[in-house]
């Protein structure tokens, strides 16, 4: 259990720049890369997420749209002092929820060898061969998120029957993804393009 607040943050905002600092300290420097001092333009079209505890950014990642159905997790990092508390898993689940609400059906990532078990526990499946990258080994992962209209309808019927069996009112049922395949939801703040 953790007390992190999960948030969508705007590209090039003060929160975003604090995320860059965390990435520099715990991703880029570990790989011998130079610090990012300004917001990369190519990240302006991404969805930036952060976990915040006591006004401090303790985890960050961004979601990069690949095409109409696929989005990729990039630059996932949890501060060393905050690891092992479920913050990374919560941030990924938050990202999956946002991506599904926007109509994406597949979420992908390139996982470092030390995180393979973590991603597999979260339901990601390896979808390619491992390869050397910088000073580590990475492997591509993917996970289906959201659902098609047909499966949403089938899921609605099952849930409706459970609700009726439990004497709950049918109008309490909410299916967010029923028509996600046919429309794109409004993008959250911080997403351009």
**CATH number (domain holding residue 28):** 3.40.630.30
| 131-163 confidence digits (pLDDT tens) | 777 777 789 999 999 864 444 433 333 333 333
Could you tell me which of 13, 48, 39 has the C-alpha nearest to residue 191?
Answer: 48
What local confidence, expressed as pLDDT, does residue 96 receive?
Answer: 97
The reply to whether 14 falls in a domain is yes
Residues shown for the chain: 193
The reply to whether 188 falls in a domain is no
Asked if residue 67 has pLDDT above 90, the reply is: yes
The reply to whether 150 falls in a domain is yes
What local confidence, expressed as pLDDT, does residue 94 receive?
Answer: 97
Q: Which domain holds residue 68?
A: 5-172
| Structural domains counted in the chain | 1
| 14-42 confidence digits (pLDDT tens) | 999 999 999 988 877 677 778 787 788 99
The reply to whether 182 falls in a domain is no
The reply to whether 190 falls in a domain is no
């Amino acid at each position: 259990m953790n007390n992190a607040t999960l948030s969508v943050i705007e590209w090039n905002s003060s929160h975003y720049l604090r995320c860059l600092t965390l990435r520099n300290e715990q991703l880029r420097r570990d790989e011998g890369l130079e610090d990012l001092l300004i917001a990369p333009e190519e990240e302006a079209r991404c969805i930036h997420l952060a976990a915040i505890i006591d006004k401090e950014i303790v985890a960050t990642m961004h979601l990069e749209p690949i095409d109409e159905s696929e989005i990729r997790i990039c630059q996932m990092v949890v501060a060393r002092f905050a690891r092992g508390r479920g913050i990374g898993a919560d941030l990924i689940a938050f990202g999956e929820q946002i991506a599904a609400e926007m109509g994406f059906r597949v979420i992908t990532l390139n996982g470092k060898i030390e995180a393979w078990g973590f991603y597999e526990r979260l339901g990601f499946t390896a979808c390619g061969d491992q390869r050397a990258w910088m000073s580590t080994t990475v492997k591509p992962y993917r996970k289906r998120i959201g659902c098609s209209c047909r499966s949403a309808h089938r899921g609605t019927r099952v849930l409706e029957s459970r609700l009726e069996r439990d004497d709950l009112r049918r109008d309490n049922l909410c299916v967010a993804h029923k028509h996600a395949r046919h429309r794109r939801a409004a993008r959250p703040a911080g997403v351009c393009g």
